[in-house]
Amino acid sequence: MTTIGIVDDHCLIVNGLKIMLQNEPDCLISFTARNGSDLLLELNERRPDVLLLDIELPDTNGIELCEKVLAMYPELLVIALTNYDDMVYVRKMIKKGARGYLLKGTDQKSLLEAISAVRSGKQYIDRHIEQSILEHTINGRKAAVNVKLTNRELEVLELIANEYSNQEIADRLFLSVRTVESHRHSLNQKLNIKTTAGLVKEAFLRGLI
């Protein structure tokens, strides 16, 4: 028997998941939670085998919440459940310890496959974005040879991708804020990008982070 926790603030999503799982003899819904605070309270009382976790919650970022709950309960098997098919979100959730990544429009077959996969120690990525990840990885490796970043630029880039501010990056790398700004400008120039979001996405697609 696999026990399952669901964290999502949309009733339609929660009810849809319940319907898909209610007649599965090997699956039992342990609890549902609408936000991060509710989840932490539930986990004090019971710990499911698998946690279906929305990335966007009313009171917290699901990516950060994933890292937090896994630090507290490392045995949890987290499957991200989201509308975001952007590669950056996929990579962030996997880096934080999620074992699976599903889009909210998933069907029952894919949901059960994901639960079965993570229970058997494997990772599972929604089939609708798996091919896209593969293509971006291949293209990113090809594109990476066209740009040369210094070791310091790579360090700054990694921290930018993890949403650190210029001041926080300066403090971590023992640099001045002006030097960090200079590295950011250099990264934007080399990758031909103007925004932070664009910089992170381009760096990911090029295989730089």
Integer Cα distance of 141 and 20 in angstroms: 39
Question: Would you state the pLDDT for residue 133?
Answer: 60
Residues 157-163, mean pLDDT to the nearest whole number:
87
Instruction: For residue range 76-122, list pLDDT tens digits in order.
Output: 999 999 988 877 788 889 889 999 999 998 899 999 999 999 999 99
* Domains recognised in the chain with CATH numbers: 2-132 (3.40.50.2300), 147-205 (1.10.10.10)
Model-wide pTM > 0.85: no
